Chains A and B, each alone.
Chain A
Amino acid sequence: MSKTTSKPRTKETVRPQLPKTPTGIRGFDEITGGGLPTGQSTLVCGGPGCGKTVFGIEFLVNGATQYDEPGVLISCQENTEELISNVASFGYDLADLIRRKKLLIDCVRVERSEIEEGGKYDLEGLFIRMGHAIDSIGAKRVVLDTIETLFSTLPNPPILRAELGRLFRWLKEKGVTAIITGERGETSVGSVGRLTRQGLEEYISDCVVHLDHRVTDQIASRRLRIVKYRGSEHGTNEYPFLIDEGGLIVLPITTPYLKDLVITNQCVSSGVPRLDALLGGKGYYKGSSVLVSGTAGTGKSSVAAHFVDATCRRGERAIYFTFEEPEAQIERDMRSIGIDLAQWVRKGLLQFQSTRPTTYGLEKHLLLMERAIEAFKPEVVTIDPLNSFLIGGNQIEVKGMLLRLVNFMKLKGITCLFTSLTSGGAPIERTDIAISSLIDTWALLRDTDYGGERNRTLYVLKSRGMPHSNQIREFLLTDKGIELRDVYVGAGGVLTGTARMNQEAIDQASQLLREQEMKRGLDELEGKRKILEAQIATMRGEFAVHELANKKVTDVQQAIELMAAEQRKKMAHARHADISSKPVSRRANPREST
């Protein structure tokens, strides 16, 4: 990563900053911390067709148009007319720059067949040409493309070597910032480790840039590397770059500084209320990256469509990048779950971008995506599916590309949702390991195979900075969209689908049974109570009868005793007994008085 503009270390504060001349080439100035060394020569080398000439011309054109630094191009390969028409496709109007004296092109044509050597010579003619060209427009930038052709046309290489050495010193004295291009040497015998055929790197030691155009798995990609940059820190990686209608672009074109990222607490709804609930209530963080992964047919695109739908419903814009299905197919499929995406397209809130993954290399895809994003300015971006890129590159490249893309979108505060297909049989989190560190929220969709049917489940594997649920939910695709249901968690494990329904029915039946049993028990008790009450009533009746009988006996007894007393009295009277003699009865019955 480029560090020259970041905070200097203690040692560097003493050292004056190396002055740099911006190339205006997008991305290049970032990785070099400002451009090429001012007043020095830079060697730009690589194989045929690697983009050396374009690099040089862009340096000059940008200098002339953006930095008010006129430039001179000394071309040993093409003539002026060819050059002008070749770069017109990049939108450069060289003829206009030449008219305005912002650019001077001098084509050096040396035909081998015309030249004879008649003694010692030097390259003073070239020096004079260049000097004259530089002075006539006040050039600050010079490009020599490709000086090495002189070796194939002029005799006596030792003289040429000495003269080239002198040329580079002379350029330095002139104070111009120069680019010297050099063709990569043959990789066979003798030139191993050489960057250029003639070993130009021996003369130019300030800054060396290597360009490469390689083909991997039938997909061509361009790479740029700063081989050395004396006195300056620089990115040492190979950076992908592109040459297209916009000229040359080195990726990353976004700043790699993490501190510039905007972090908010704002949330955006996923479009599925219960998914929002799983994530802590409000959905995804705005500007975060979301991954929805799962095996085939688990409903990844549906989650994406919900999110897009919810975004457009709020009146915000979204771009849906698709790499496998055409727009019409996605619209049709989503209609089947009750999501009408076509209406948002008509309202200009949704844009579909469908390309075949193999159409371009990774960096071209990235660039096209960034262009689309810059043009449409969406709040939400969906890439469905991410895996398609794996066709076009290895995991490191894909990761690098995604890192840049995620970075780019985070800088713009765009929430991005990627879907990723986990291939069947592979560990469910395996394919995504390479990118998992870039992802803030990761929802995993899974098939469960139980009881002769497949059912979908969803859970949130991670969600940075959110109190997300650790529960698995059953994921249903209905004609009204995604529904999340609680799964059955019980003695039989986690059950979904009809197994869940079955289990729920069983649970219900046993509940009913229990309720009935309880009712029966209550009834029984009530019966018993009633019987007891009846028994109590009967006994009370018996008791009353007994009482009555008892009273009868007592009354009779009393009557008898009374009669006996009367009898005794009568007898005493008859016998003239004392009046004081007591009656015989022991009981003084109170009833006697009544």
Chain B
Amino acid sequence: MSEKPAVTKGAPHTVIMEANQSDAEVFLLRLYVAGQTPKSLAAIANLKKICDQHLPGRSRTEVIDLLENPQRAREDQIVAIPTLIRVRPLPAHKIIGDLSNTERVLIALDLLARS
């Protein structure tokens, strides 16, 4: 995926959760926001809730504020805000929106089978 080189290049920013299990099982998630907007704050909160419930101790999340790192929007092909990228496990998935639709987020993260 095109995002892969950016992962190694980009320094982690805000680390919400640290994984304490083996790397293979760890979900690497990256959330792109733009400042402290209601949508951004909602996305951060919603993501934290999902990780706590469905990925306890199995996820590592970076939050990237594009207002601080605008070049990352281009580098990582971000158009919509908020955008959540499941960097690992592969294949990468992109989920846009404030993550309020938990079911769809879980499906997109392959944590819930499509019905």
Q: Which residues in A have some Cβ–Cβ distance to B below 8 Å? A: 106, 108-110, 114-126, 128-129, 131-133, 150, 154-155
Contacts and interface: CB of A to CB of B under 8 A. Distances in A.
A121 B70 contact: no
B72 to A, nearest CB: 9
Among A122, A125, A132, A155, find the residue whose CB has the most chain B CB atoms closer than 10 A: A125
B79 A110 contact: yes
Contacts of A108: 77, 79
24 contacts: A110-B77, A114-B92, A116-B105, A118-B97, A118-B99, A120-B100, A121-B39, A121-B80, A121-B83, A121-B96, A122-B39, A123-B79, A123-B81, A124-B34, A124-B37, A125-B78, A126-B73, A126-B79, A126-B80, A129-B70, A129-B79, A131-B70, A154-B79, A155-B96
Contact of A121 (B74, B97, B105): B97
B79 A117 contact: no
A116 B95 contact: yes
Contacts of B66: 124-125, 128
B6 interface: no
A120 B97 contact: yes
Nearest to A153: B79
A119 B46 CA distance: 10
Given A117-B95, A132-B70, A133-B74, A122 B80 contact: yes
Contacts of A133: 74
Contacts of B78: 125, 128-129
Nearest to A163: B80
Interface string B26-40: 000000101001010
A119 B97 contact: yes
Among B37, B93, B94, B100, find the residue whose CB has the most chain A CB atoms closer than 10 A: B94
Contacts of B101: 117-119
Contacts of B71: 132
Interface of B: 2, 32, 34, 37, 39, 42-43, 46, 66-67, 70-71, 73-74, 77-84, 92-101, 104-105, 107-108
A244 B96 CA distance: 42
Nearest to B35: A124
Nearest to B32: A125
Nearest to B108: A116
Nearest to B105: A118
Nearest 9 A-B pairs (CB), nearest first?
A119-B97, A116-B108, A132-B70, A124-B81, A119-B98, A119-B100, A125-B78, A129-B73, A118-B105
Nearest to B92: A114
A110 B78 CA distance: 8
Contact of B96 (A117, A129, A132): A117
Given A115-B94, A116-B96, 6 more contacts: A119-B105, A121-B97, A124-B34, A125-B32, A129-B73, A132-B71
Determine chain A's interface SS by DSSP, over half rule: mixed
A109 B1 CA distance: 12
Contact of A109 (B77, B80, B83, B92): B77
A106 B42 CA distance: 29
Contacts of B70: 128-129, 131-132
Contact of B80 (A106, A125, A131, A132): A125
Nearest to B40: A124
A155 B80 CA distance: 11
Contacts of A125: 32, 34, 66, 73, 78-81, 83
Contact of A118 (B67, B74, B84): B84
A150 B78 CA distance: 12
Contacts of A119: 42-43, 46, 97-101, 104-105
A118 B34 contact: no
A42 B43 CA distance: 35
A128 B67 contact: yes
A83 to B, nearest CB: 15
Contacts of A116: 93-96, 104-105, 107-108
A118 B73 contact: no
Nearest to A155: B96
Contacts of B84: 118
Nearest to B77: A109
Nearest to B70: A132
Nearest to A104: B74
A129 B2 CA distance: 17
A123 B99 contact: no
Nearest to A160: B80
B4 to A, nearest CB: 14
Contacts of A110: 77, 79
A122 B34 CA distance: 10
A132 B67 CA distance: 10
Contacts of A117: 95-97, 101, 104
Among B37, B81, B92, B96, find the residue whose CB has the most chain A CB atoms closer than 10 A: B96
B81 A118 contact: no
A78 to B, nearest CB: 14
A319 B74 CA distance: 54
A124 B46 CA distance: 19
A106 B73 CA distance: 10
A130 to B, nearest CB: 9
A129 B74 CA distance: 6
Among A106, A118, A150, find the residue whose CB has the most chain B CB atoms closer than 10 A: A118
Contacts of B79: 108, 110, 123, 125-126, 129, 150, 154
Nearest to B50: A118
